[in-house]
Amino acid sequence: MKTKIIAILPLIALLSACSIIGNSKEKSNKVVIEDRGTGEVDAIAYEQGTFEWNGNEQVANTDAMPKEERENAVAALKANGGKLVLYFDYDTAVINPEANQEIMQHIAFMQNNPKIRLRLEGHADERGTREYNLALGENRALSVKQILDFDNRIEVVSYGEEKLQSSEHDKNRRVEFIYK
């Protein structure tokens, strides 16, 4: 846990810089990430300044996040430049270093929405065999799950090459973030 936090430290700085630049969205309620919890991740986030967030800070004490609230939160994540799809290189499940910023956004999002759950759907392009691609797609989703590190809130599935999104291979090698 600790080593990962240190590794992502510069990325948080980058992310917060970005969120300041992209500050034109005015509808969102300002929620300060350091207000919740006392874990190490929060402490580091505090050092890096405030994040913009949309959604109710007080999450109801139920297992699932209310639908409307969840949808608002996800909409705000997207409005802040959050991507719900992460792309991969050919025949690899290694997360591209350039994608770390996007990953950080999701980590912050899950911290801020402790009741939200995430389904990670791993996909592959159509090259190679369907069965191998099913395994590859799962490895991609597992790579994301591992770095997010919210094990009991994340479900992983793989569709391999069964749900192609595009005729371009690059657009099909992906993990989709489905918050629920």
Partner 1 sequence: MKLSKWLMLILIFAIGNTHAVLKVTVIKKDENAFPIAISPFKLIGNKSKDKDISKIIHDNLERSGRFDALIPIAVVDKINTKYWKEKNIEALVTGSIVQESDDIYRLSVNLFDIYSDTQLFTRSTRVHVSGFRKAAHQLSDYIYEALLGENGSFNTLLTYITVKENAKGIKQYSLNISDSDAMNAKSRIRLDSPILSPVWSPEHKYKNKKIAYVSFQNGRSEVFIWHPFLRKKIKKLPRFDGIASSPSWHPNGKSLVLTLSKKGNKDIYSYDLTNNKLSRLTQHKDIDTEASYSPDGKNLVFTSNRSGQAQIYIKNLKSGHINRTTFTGRYNAKAVFSPNGKHLALVHRVDNDYRIAMLNIESQELSMMSGGTLDESPYFSPNGDMIIFSSRRNGKGLLSVVSVEGNRSYELSAHDAEVRAPNWSSSLEN
Give every strand in the sheet of 118-123, ordered side by side.
85-87, 174-179, 118-123, 154-160
User: Binding residue for partner 1 (CB under 8 A) from 35, 40, 131, 149?
Assistant: 131
The DSSP annotation for 54-83 comes to -S-SS--SSSSPPHHHHHHHHHHHHHTT--
Q: Tell me which of 6, 17, 157, 178 binds partner 1, using CB under 8 A.
A: 157
4 binds partner 1 (CB under 8 A): no
- Check residue 127 for interaction with partner 1 (CB under 8 A): yes
Residues touching partner 1: how many (CB under 8 A)?
21
162 lines the binding site for partner 1 (CB under 8 A): yes
Instruction: Determine contact, residues 51/108, Cβ cutoff 8 Å.
Output: yes
Nearer to partner 1, 55 or 122 (CB): 122
Q: How far is the CB of 154 from partner 1 (least distance, A)?
A: 12
Q: DSSP character for 57?
A: S
Site for partner 1 in 78-117 (CB under 8 A): 91
Cα(173)–Cα(161) distance, rounded to whole angstroms? Answer: 9
Tell me how far apart the terminal alpha carbons of the chain are, to the nearest angstrom. Answer: 25
Phi, psi torsion values for 78, nearest 5 degrees: -65, -40
What's the closest the beta carbon of residue 148 comes to partner 1, in angstroms? 14
Residue from 101, 139, 153, 171 that binds partner 1 (CB under 8 A)? 139
Site for partner 1 contains 180 (CB under 8 A): no
Provide the token pair at 88. 């991969």
In whole angstroms, how close is the CB of 158 to partner 1 at the nearest point? 6
Interacting residue with partner 1 among 14, 79, 142, 147 (CB under 8 A): 142
Residue 1 to residue 14: CA distance in whole angstroms: 20
Radius of gyration of the chain (CA): 17
Interface ranges with partner 1 (CB under 8 A):
91, 126-132, 134-136, 138-139, 142, 156-160, 162-163
